[in-house]
Amino acid sequence: MVKVGVEAEDAKTLGRLDVLRPAAIDAVIGLLSEQSVETLTDITKRDSLKTQILDRFNEMLGEEGPVSRIYFTQYVLQ
């Protein structure tokens, strides 16, 4: 299970991302599904995953972005 926190300088960005929540969740699931178990369990790869999630969110938001930071608020693999 992975929970993601998002930081943006503009509250409108967070509001728009909330509207896009289903697509954002799907983007995170898609990205994580593309990764190997080794990548997902390697703590040194987490910054790269955050950057990729950030890029996908900003691509979804277009002119209504950007998201400035991604946080993993929960990261549990079974």
The tens-digit pLDDT sequence of the chain (78 residues) is 999 999 999 999 999 999 999 999 999 999 999 999 999 999 999 999 999 999 999 999 998 889 999 999 999 988
- For the record, the structure tokens of 51 come out as 């950057």
User: Taking a C-beta distance cutoff of 8 angstroms, is the pair 23, 60 a contact?
Assistant: yes
CA nearest neighbour of 49 among 64, 39, 38 = 39
CA distance 70 to 55: 10
Tell me whether the omega of the peptide bond preceding residue 66 falls within 30 degrees of 0, making it cis: yes
User: Taking a C-beta distance cutoff of 8 angstroms, is the pair 76, 9 a contact?
Assistant: no
What pLDDT, on the 0 to 100 scale, is given for residue 3? Answer: 95
